[in-house]
Structures are given as C-alpha cells and as structure tokens.
A and B are shown apart, each in its own frame.
Chain A
Amino acid sequence: MYKAVVIGGSAGSFQVITKILNSLPKNFPLPVLLSLHRLKHVRSGFVEALSIKSKIPIVEPYDKETIKPGKGYLAPSNYHMYVELNKRIALSTEEPVNHSRPSIDLTFETAAQAYRDKIIGIILSGANRDGAYGLKKLKQLGGTAIVQDPEECQVRTMTEASLKLTAVDHIFTTQQIINFLLKLK
C-alpha cells in the first residue's frame, strides 16, 4: 500500500543510512528519497559511498526525473529536492531553510503532498532541528512517521526536535527500521 520512503539525516546518520540501504533487497518495492545534510563544495563522492554495498541503485537525480520504485534518490549538494505532484523530482536553489540546502523539511513536505498517506518518513541522527516540521506535515497528511531512537543516535537533537513536534507512529532502532522496511510489499 505504501508508495515511497523518505529519509532525513544529518550528523551521525551516515552509518545508519548505509546500514539501511545495504539491507534493502534489489527488488525493494518503493523509491527511497534521501535528504541528507552534506558538504556544499563536495559535489562528488557521497553517492558513490552510499552505493558501495547497496543493492538498490542510488542516484543524484536530474531535475524532473521520474521517481521509480527500487531506486534511491539522494538530494544533490547545494540544491533543495522537492517531489512534484506528478511524482517527478524538482530541484531548487531557493534560500536555505534552517541553514540547510538541501532542506529535509522541504523534501518531506513536498513528498508528503505528492504521496499523502502512502509514504513513510524516517528522521535519523542529526545536530539541528531540520526535518521536524516536515515530519509533522507528513504525519498530518496521513503518512507514517518514524524516528530513530534518540538513545541510539550519535547526535540526538534532530530526533528529539521531531518527537517534540509530532506524535510519531514508531520510535525505532536502526535494526527495527530495517525490519519494518523489509516487511513492506
């Protein structure tokens, strides 16, 4: 019944993200949208690092690329990544939000508008408050909200900010997130 997964992460999320991606099967039935804070001047290397052991292909999408299941879409450095209602990626150089471009809030909010109740949003470790508002929107529009257990996070600010704003569906460890995703059909 779900149509997409959207994941936001910042400081301390890289290992969690790779662990999740590496666990997904090649025929994972949903697209995975990744909005991760990253160095602005380092354009290459990140998608390659995420791809090393991932069985699903990970790309930095082109603007207006059609979103397809079984593929990971990483927000390119120094761009916001939106989801259009027709399920295409749209990129933007509008002002940073919460000092961030890409902004996790904006990816979550637009993805939630496009997928309504058919989306899972996951907030991971991070050192600022980005993502909290986006996760709230996602939950309001009927999506399933998951936050990484702050106890497990390297930096817990981001997950705690999300929990403060939203009554989430699940607080999960990395392994529980993986188990949850693997049960999806």
Chain B
Amino acid sequence: MNRYEIGIVDTRNIIKTLQDVYDYDFKNYALTFFKRRVERSIQKHSLRDAAAFIKKITQEKDFFEIFLQEMCVDTTEMFRDPSVWRLLNEEMLTELISNKPNFKIWFPEASSGEELFSLAIVLKKINLLNNVKFVVSSLSEKNIEKIQNGAFDPKKIETNDVNFKRIYSDANLSDFYTLKSDEAHWDTSLIENTKFIKQNIIFDDYPKGVKLILFRNKMIYFNQILQERFIKIIYNSLVPGGHLIIGNNEQIDYWNSDKDYTVVNKSESIYKKKLS
C-alpha cells in the first residue's frame, strides 16, 4: 500500500495559504494530523503534489469547502465506548434532565454526527428527547448538511449494531434508521430540536447557558495552544453545575481542572463544573 506523502515544509506552506486566502488558521492543529489530512485529500482528488493542492484550493472556493469537510474525522462509530453510553442511559441523563425543559446540550466540532444521533437515541428511549435542545457546531457547511439529512455509511451498520447491543440487548438499532439499496439514513425526527452553527477555527460566537457538552475525541486534533483556547470556551459555555464529557484518553489535568471541575466519573472522563 503506497501513500502519497508531503514534507513538513509543504505542510507549513499549505497552512499559510489557507490563512492568507481564506483566513482559516490551522497552525494550531496537531501537525501530524493536518499533514495526513492533506495527504489524504491529495490522493483522493488525484492531485500531483502539494503545489497542485495549493493551486487548486487557492483558485476553487468549492474545493476549500470540500477540504473543510475532509478535515472532519467521520470514521468513528455510533455509541463508541458503550460503557459511557450505558452510564448515561442508566442513571445520569434521567437525573440531569427530568423536569428540566430546554436542557441545552452542545456538540462542539461535530464531524460525523454520530455522537449527536447516539445521544438522541438514548434520550428517545428514556422519553426525554423533547426536554432537550441540541446545539451542533462544525467547521464545515457541507458536513452540517450531511448531518441534517441523516446520511451515514452503510458499511458502519455492523459495528454500530454491535455497540448498540452492548447497551440495549433487547432492542434494535434498525428502529432508528432506514436502509435503501446502498444508502443509510438516520431518522431525522431525532434531531428536530437542533440548532446548527457553522464555526470558524477561532469562534467568538459560542453557545451560552449549556448544561451538557459532549466533546469526545475532538481536542486530539489540536495542539496544546488550541486545546487551551477551547478549554476556556467550554468553561464559559457551561452553566455552573453543567457537565462535560471528553474522550477516554484526553486530559484536563493541565487546565487547572481541580479548581474548575469535580470529577464525576474518572474512567469515562465525565466532569462537572463547580458552582463557584
């Protein structure tokens, strides 16, 4: 298997181009990740090299939009880490959301929409879906459209089903999607109460008064500088007593977390913002 590769200098040139032409600043993305995404794009669109990529993305606004979508990692799965979903389903969500209308839940840097649909299904099953308002923000307009129309890759059905069965042994995930020939779609009534925001990398306009944030495996694509910037935004977005869930191997130790958060569940990386 041969992959096309670009050098570090090329990578930096591309970052500079995107900054100059589109005012998108990717320099605080994790460099290995950004480089790999560009290489993937060059290969996918049969471009010759980094120079051809720069030329195309400079000249074609639509290609830039496609690239933004390609920056969104959509290769995870529904109910990734079933144990965290089991925990949410069994006690946590009922306790948090019951009798609280307009409970606001934010998914920053949404990519595949899998976290959104997973949570919507869990809430639907405990009859709390009508109590919540989802806010979904994503780097890519095209990606937002994809989430809105519920499309997903049918190849993932098997993995998704296995995960789902680990939470609900007596239910079927197929109650929530339709499969016609080779197209699969989630039931979009699950996300009726959703506000979508197209975000830039630095976003000043983030949702406030949020009670739960699902931010799993998104910060891993940032370097420490961008991680810290997001951490501040997350903190300001959450109400006191609001909850934050991050990925299993993401950490908040270096962000003064003792002062700002109590640990609700260490192994599932669930935190609660302190009251004062």
Contacts and interface: CB of A to CB of B under 8 A. Distances in A.
Interface of A: 41, 43, 60-65, 76, 78-79, 82-85, 88, 90-98, 106, 110, 113, 129, 133
Given A62-B250, A64-B223, A92-B73, 14 more contacts: A41-B166, A61-B249, A62-B249, A64-B224, A82-B30, A84-B31, A88-B224, A91-B220, A92-B220, A93-B75, A93-B217, A94-B36, A94-B75, A133-B2
A60 to B, nearest CB: 6
B217 A90 contact: no
Interface in B233-256: 247-251, 253
A78 B250 CA distance: 14
Q: What 3 pairs across the A-B complex have the smallest Cβ distances?
A: A95-B75, A62-B251, A82-B32
Nearest to A76: B249
Contacts of B217: 91, 93
Q: How large is the interface on B (under 10, 10 to 19, 20 to 34, 35 or more residues)?
A: 20 to 34
A43 B248 contact: yes
A138 to B, nearest CB: 13
B158 to A, nearest CB: 13
A60 B249 contact: yes
17 contacts: A43-B83, A62-B251, A63-B219, A64-B220, A83-B32, A85-B32, A88-B224, A90-B32, A90-B220, A92-B221, A93-B76, A93-B220, A96-B75, A98-B1, A106-B36, A113-B32, A133-B2
Contacts of B86: none
Contacts, number: 77
A46 B20 CA distance: 46
Give the secondary structure class of A's interface: loop
Interface in B61-98: 73, 75-76, 80-83
A76 B33 contact: no
A49 to B, nearest CB: 18
Nearest to A66: B224
Contact of B30 (A43, A61, A90, A97): A90
A84 B8 CA distance: 12
Interface in B1-50: 1-3, 8, 30-33, 36
B271 to A, nearest CB: 14
A44 to B, nearest CB: 8
Contacts of A92: 33, 73, 220-221
Contacts of B76: 93
A31 to B, nearest CB: 17
Given A90-B220, A91-B220, A85 B1 contact: no
Nearest to B2: A133
B227 interface: yes
A107 to B, nearest CB: 11
A98 B2 CA distance: 12
A64 B31 CA distance: 12
Contact of B8 (A61, A79, A85, A97): A85
B231 to A, nearest CB: 12
Contact of A82 (B33, B75, B253): B33
Contacts of A98: 1
Contacts of B249: 60-63, 76, 79, 91
Contacts of B251: 62-65
Contacts of B3: 133
A143 B260 CA distance: 44
Nearest to B227: A64
